[in-house]
Amino acid sequence: MIQNHEIDYRIVGEEMQYVEIELDYNETAIAEPGSFMMMNDGIVMETMFGDGSKQQNDSLLGKLLNAGKRVLVGESLFMTAFTNINQGKRRVSFASPYPGKIIPLDLSQLANNVVCQKDAFLCAAKGVSIGIEFQRKLGTGLFGGEGFIMERLQGDGMAFLHAGGHVFKQQLSAGELLKIDTGCIVGFTADVQYDIQFVGGIKNTLFGGEGLFFATLTGPGTVWIQTLPISRLAGRILQYSTTVRKEEGSILGGIGNLLDGDGKW
C-alpha cells in the first residue's frame, strides 16, 4: 500500500498564487528546483536525485535512471525535499512561476494516478512518485504539440500542479469525447483515453491558424484545462518583441503609444 506524508495546505492569492504547506514533525514536501518561496526556521532543505518515493529504486543505478527520466520531460536532474525537524508545526511555501492557478490534487481520490503536462508539476507530499508517461501511439507522439512524453503522478498523497490563465475541471462520462488544443490540457486521470486527430480540410490546414492537429480525450474520467498555455503566452510576447508596428514613427504611432500607456513619442 502506498503511504505518502499527510500534509495540510492553503493556496494564497488570485493570479500569482503560492501554496503554503504545513508540516508536522518529520513530514516532508518535495518540489521542483526554483519553486521555493519561503519557510519557517526548523525546516531543513535537501537536494536529491529523483522524488524520494518508495516506487523509486534506492540503488545508485536506480536513482540515476529515475533522474534520467526527469531529463526526458525537460525537468531538472534533482528535486528538493523540505523536512520539518522541529517538534512543532512549521510551514513552507512554493510560488507559481507565471500568472495562473495552482491546482491541488488529492491522489487518493483520483485512483492514485494522474497524467499531466511535463511542466505542470509544482510540489507534492513526499511519497508521491513523479515518473514519465510515454504516449503509445506514434501519431500522438509526433503531432501532440506538447511533446511525446508527459508526467505521471502516483501515490495517495497531495500533489500540486500549476497552469496558466483560468483553470477549470471537466468531468467526462463513459464514451464522452472532448476535442481540445493540446496546450490547453493540464492533466487528466489515468482512465481517460488520449489521442491526436487531424483537423482536416484544406482551408483549415492552410489558414486556420490553430495547427494541423488537436487532442481528443475520451471518458470516463476527469480533465483539468487551462485557458492560457505558457507556450501561447511566450509566443505572443515574442511576436510583440520582434515585430515593428506599422504605425511607429508616425503621428498615429505616437497616439497609439500614449493609448497603450507608453509616454514616448
Q: What is the pLDDT of residues 220-240, one digit of tens each?
A: 999 999 998 877 777 777 777
If residue 21 lies in a helix (H) or strand (E), which one and from where to where? strand 18-23
Q: Smallest Cα–Cα separation from 132: which of 115, 119, 113? A: 115
- Distance CA(173)–CA(163), nearest Å, equals 24
- CB under 8 Å to 99, separation ≥6 — which residues? 15, 16, 164, 165, 228
pLDDT at 16: 87
Residue 250 reports pLDDT greater than 50: no
If residue 174 lies in a helix (H) or strand (E), which one and from where to where? none
The mean pLDDT value for 176-199 works out to 89
| pTM (2 d.p.) | 0.78
Residue 19 reports pLDDT greater than 80: yes
- Distance CA(93)–CA(30), nearest Å, equals 11
Residue 183 reports pLDDT greater than 50: yes
Range of lowest pLDDT (57-61, 107-111, 157-161, 195-199) = 57-61
* C-alpha cell at position 123: 510540489
The mean pLDDT value for 56-71 works out to 56
Strands 121-125 and 90-95, sheet pairing: unpaired
pLDDT at 209: 47
Structural domains for the chain: 8-237 (3.60.160.10)
Residue 127 reports pLDDT greater than 60: yes
Task: Give the number of other CB atoms < 10 A from CB of residue 13.
Answer: 12
Peptide bond preceding 220 in cis form (omega within 30 of 0): yes
Q: How many residues does the chain have?
A: 265
- CB under 8 Å to 70, separation ≥6 — which residues? 50, 76, 77, 79, 130, 132
The mean pLDDT value for 4-21 works out to 90
Range of lowest pLDDT (8-17, 40-49, 54-63, 87-96) = 54-63
pLDDT band at 195 (very low <50, low <70, confident <90, very high): confident
β-partners of residue 189 are 114
* C-alpha cell at position 64: 540515476
